[in-house]
Amino acid sequence: MDKKLGVYICACGGNISDYVDIEKVREAVKDEDCVLLARTTMFACGDSNQKEMEKDIQENNLSGIVVASCSPKLHLTTFRSVSERAGLNKYNYVHANIREQASWAHSGNKQGATEKAIHLVKAAIAKARFAKSLEPTRIKSQKSVAIIGAGVAGIKASIALSNMGDNVYLIERENKIGGKLASLGKVFPGNITGEDMIARLNEEVKNEDRITLLTSTKIKECSGNIGDFRIRLQDNIETGEPAVSEREINVGSILVATGFESYTPSEGEYGYKEIDNVITLPEFRDLIKNGKEGKELVFKNRKIRDIAFIYCVGSRQIKGENKYCSRYCCSAAIQSSLDIKERFGDVQVYHFTKGVRTYGSQELKYAEASRSGDIFIQFPDKDEPVVSSEKGVTLIKAKDILSAKKEIEAAVDLVVLVTGMVPDSDKSVGSLLKLPRGRDNFFNEIHMKLRPVETVIDGITIAGTCQGPKGVMESVNSALSAAVKTHSFVSKGELELSPIVAYTDVKTCEWCGACSEACPYNAISKSEEDGKVVAIVNKTTCKGCGMCLPVCDSDSIELTSFTNNEIESMIEILAN
Q: Site residues for other proteins, window 516-555 (CB under 8 A)?
A: none
| DSSP class of 102 | I
Q: Burial of 85 by CB count in 10 Å (0-12 exposed, 13-18 middle, 19+ buried)?
A: middle
- Residues 137-166 touching other proteins, rule: CB under 8 A, are 152, 156, 160, 163-165
Nearer to other proteins, 39 or 405 (CB): 405
Min. distance of Cβ 462 from other proteins in angstroms? Answer: 12
Which one, 361 or 428, has the nearer CB to other proteins? 361
Out of 150, 287, 395, 453, the residue judged to bind other proteins by CB under 8 A = 453
Pairing of strands 532-537, 524-529: antiparallel
Shortest distance (Å) from residue 48 CB to other proteins: 4
Q: Which of the stretches 12-20, 117-125, 286-294, 297-305 binds other proteins when contact is defined by CB under 8 A? A: 12-20
With CA atoms as reference, report the closest residue to 121 among 574, 527, 492: 574
**Number of other CB atoms surrounding residue 392 within 10 Å:** 6
Give dist(CA 160, CA 143) in Å, integer. Answer: 14
Q: How far is CA 5 from CA 12, 25, 92, 209, 295, in A?
A: 22, 16, 9, 55, 82
- Which residues in 165-176 are b (16+ Cβ under 10 Å) and which e? ebbbbbbbbeee
Q: Does 85 bind other proteins (CB under 8 A)?
A: yes
Part of the chain binding other proteins (CB under 8 A), chosen from 26-34, 278-286, 350-358, 568-576: 350-358
> Using CB under 8 A, which residues numbered 424 to 443 contact other proteins?
438-440, 442
Which range, of 238-246, 269-277, 281-289, 359-367, touches other proteins by CB under 8 A? Answer: 359-367
Three-state secondary-structure class, residue 12: helix
Cβ contacts of 285 within 8 Å, gap of 6 or more = 183, 184, 185, 336
CA 93 from centre of chain: 29
DSSP 314-354: TSS-SSSS--S--SSHHHHHHHHHHHHHHHH---EEEEEES
Of residues 181 through 240, those in contact with other proteins by CB under 8 A are: 187, 189-190, 192, 197, 200-201
In angstroms, give the least distance from the CB of 467 to other proteins. Answer: 8
What is the C-alpha to C-alpha distance for residues 517 and 526, in angstroms, rounded to an integer? 11
Instruction: By CB under 8 A, name the one of 34, 36, 37, 42 that touches other proteins.
Output: 42
Determine which helix (DSSP H) or strand (DSSP E) holds 53, and give its type and residue range.
helix 47-60
Q: Contacts with other proteins in 391-430 (CB under 8 A)?
A: 401-405
Measured CA angle at 438 (ends 433, 440), to 5 deg: 120
Q: Least CB distance from residue 163 to other proteins, whole Å?
A: 4
Q: Which residue lies nearer to other proteins by CB, 122 or 354?
A: 354
Q: Smallest distance from the beta carbon of 449 to other proteins, in angstroms?
A: 5
Residue 167 near residue 144, CB atoms below 8 Å: yes
Among 95, 327, 351, 543, binds other proteins (CB under 8 A): 327
Question: Considering CB under 8 A, how many residues would be counted as binding other proteins?
Answer: 82
Closest to 399 (Cα-Cα) out of 419, 413, 378, 415: 378
Closest residue by Cα to residue 416 from 358, 355, 336: 336
Beta bridge partners of 416: 279, 309
Q: Is residue 28 near other proteins by the rule CB under 8 A?
A: no
Q: How long a stretch of residues is the chain? A: 576
Of 116 and 470, which CB lies nearer to other proteins in the complex structure?
Answer: 470
For other proteins, give the closer residue by CB, 60 or 361: 361
Q: Pick from 81, 183, 388, 538 the residue near other proteins by CB under 8 A.
A: 81
Site for other proteins in 47-76 (CB under 8 A): 47-48, 50, 70, 74-75
Q: What minimum distance in Å lies between the beta carbon of 564 and other proteins?
A: 32
Residue 572 CA to residue 576 CA, distance in Å, equals 6
Site for other proteins in 467-486 (CB under 8 A): 467-469, 472-474, 476-478, 480-485
Q: Counting contacts by CB under 8 A, is residue 106 touching other proteins?
A: no
Neighbours of 438 (CB within 10 A): 14
What minimum distance in Å lies between the beta carbon of 246 and other proteins? 33
Shortest CB 203 distance to other proteins, Å: 12
Determine which residue in the list 138, 303, 427, 492 makes contact with other proteins, applying CB under 8 A: 492
Which lies closer to other proteins via its Cβ, residue 356 or residue 501?
Answer: 356
By CB under 8 A, tell whether 109 contacts other proteins.
Answer: no
Element (H, E) at 206: helix 194-206
CB of 573 to other proteins, least distance (A): 27
Q: Is the Cβ of residue 105 or residue 518 nearer to other proteins in the bound state? A: 105
Nearest-approach distance from CB 470 to other proteins, in angstroms: 9
For residue 192, the minimal CB distance to other proteins (Å) is 6
Measured distance CA(409)–CA(400) in Å, rounded = 10
Q: Does 355 bind other proteins (CB under 8 A)?
A: yes
Contacts (Cβ under 8 Å, ≥6 apart) of 240:
none
Among 126, 251, 333, 356, binds other proteins (CB under 8 A): 356
User: What residues numbered 253-312 form the site for other proteins, per CB under 8 A?
Assistant: none
Q: Which of 60, 77, 133, 508 binds other proteins (CB under 8 A)?
A: 77
Residue 163 or residue 564: which is nearer to other proteins going by CB?
A: 163
Smaller CB separation from other proteins, 258 or 477: 477
Shortest CB 40 distance to other proteins, Å: 14
What's the per-residue H, E or C state across 107-137?
CCCHHHHHHHHHHHHHHHHHHHHHCCCCCCE
> What radius of gyration, in Å, describes the C-alpha atoms of the chain?
30
- One-letter amino acid of 52: E
Give the whole-angstrom CA distance, residue 2 versus residue 67: 20
Strand partners, 504: 557
Nearer to other proteins by Cβ, of 191 and 576: the residue is 191
To the nearest whole angstrom, how small is the minimum distance from the Cβ of residue 240 to other proteins?
35
Query: Shortest Cβ distance from residue 438 to other proteins (Å)?
Result: 8
